[in-house]
Amino acid sequence: MKLSGSRVKARLIAVAAAVVLGLAAVVYHLADYAAGTGVLILAYHRVGDFDSEYAVPVGEFSAQMDYLQHKGYHSITLDQLAEAIETGAGLPPRAVVITFDDGYWDNLTNAYPIVAARGFVMTVFVVPEYIGRYYDFLTWPQVAELVATGRVTIGSHTMDHQPLAELAPGQQAAELVDSKRAIELATGLPCRHFAYPFGSFSQDTLSILAGAGYRTACTGITGLNWQKTSLLLLRRTNIVKSRWGMWDFRARIFYSEVKFAGEKLLSQIF
Ligand SMILES: [Zn+2]
């Protein structure tokens, strides 16, 4: 039987559509599987109507927290995540850690009320040298206010927002140890969590962090976290001002899920 040109074309289109749909189904299931087994860490900077790519408007942030709640996400602390990775302790399904880098004042005035209203908890990585020096950042009394809520963990983001990989080991140690001490003095609580400024670290950084008594460190590497993720190399999903509303947020989480599922499958094969 000879097919006409247009029929061949129609069949090709049908086959291509089936392949695309099949692939989409596989990717969708991979993401779903990932969401069920990996822990999501969201990385924010500012919440408010500021002229910066890193500022998520209040309405948008609120809608994102609503989305997490409706999707059945459970907000956990970095200590809970560390405990789960260290001991194999169970975590609630769809666990999420909400983090903020740099310690902007709007983390208290804009982000915190929205997080707390949903029963969530959050972590703020502060830069001690910025505190009380620059207007855009939290003051120590504001940091204390966050701590007093019992819903906020304060972590370190170095003393002066330095790209650690570019520093000599001695300087790296000073950034890590001094910031930890400054935060502990101000909050009266141990400071055990860290986020790498600019996502920058070297092999030295990892041993200095561990030696200084840090329990976890958040990178800028995309993905989810599970039993085999190093606690000093936690994966995050960076959230910036959206271009397409909630689709942007969902797409970023979806990408982390698919990347994680792919890596996890590969690690099980090889
Ligand atoms: Zn930063």
> Distance from the CA of 218 to the center of ligand 1, in angstroms?
11
Tokens of 236: 């995050």
The amino acid occupying position 266 is L
Residue 29 clears pLDDT 80, i.e. is over it: no
> Distance from the CA of 201 to the center of ligand 1, in angstroms?
13
pLDDT (0 to 100) of residue 230: 96
Q: How confident is the model at residue 140 (pLDDT cuts 50, 70, 90)?
A: very high
| 49-99 pLDDT per residue, tens | 999 999 999 999 999 999 999 999 999 999 999 999 999 888 998 999 999
Tokens of 188: 């009266």
Enumerate the domain spans of the chain: 39-243
Contact 41, 195 (CB under 8 A): no
> 155: helix, coil or strand?
strand
> Distance from the CA of 197 to the center of ligand 1, in angstroms?
4
> Distance from the CA of 55 to the center of ligand 1, in angstroms?
13
> Distance from the CA of 172 to the center of ligand 1, in angstroms?
16
> Distance from the CA of 141 to the center of ligand 1, in angstroms?
21
pLDDT (0 to 100) of residue 157: 98
The CATH code that applies to domain 39-243 is 3.20.20.370
Taking the C-alpha atoms of residue 250 and residue 60, their distance in angstroms, rounded to an integer, is 12
Residue 1 clears pLDDT 60, i.e. is over it: no
- In 3D space, the residue among 115, 118, 111, 69 whose CA is nearest the CA of residue 94 turns out to be 69
Neighbours of 18 (CB within 10 A): 10
- In 3D space, the residue among 83, 28, 107 whose CA is nearest the CA of residue 193 turns out to be 83
pLDDT (0 to 100) of residue 155: 98
pLDDT (0 to 100) of residue 175: 97
Q: Estimate to the nearest angstrom the gap between the alpha carbon of 52 and the chain centroid.
A: 19
> Distance from the CA of 102 to the center of ligand 1, in angstroms?
5
Q: Give first-to-last CA distance, the chain, whole Å.
A: 47
- pLDDT over 70, % of the chain: 97
Taking the C-alpha atoms of residue 250 and residue 247, their distance in angstroms, rounded to an integer, is 5
> Distance from the CA of 157 to the center of ligand 1, in angstroms?
7
> Distance from the CA of 132 to the center of ligand 1, in angstroms?
17
- In 3D space, the residue among 18, 41, 69 whose CA is nearest the CA of residue 260 turns out to be 41
> Distance from the CA of 129 to the center of ligand 1, in angstroms?
13
| 196-228 pLDDT per residue, tens | 999 999 999 999 999 999 999 999 999 999 999
The amino acid occupying position 226 is W
What rounded mean pLDDT belongs to the chain?
A: 94
> Distance from the CA of 247 to the center of ligand 1, in angstroms?
25
Pick the more confident residue, 267 or 188: 188
Contact 219, 196 (CB under 8 A): yes
Contact 57, 48 (CB under 8 A): yes
- pLDDT over 90, % of the chain: 80
> Distance from the CA of 154 to the center of ligand 1, in angstroms?
14
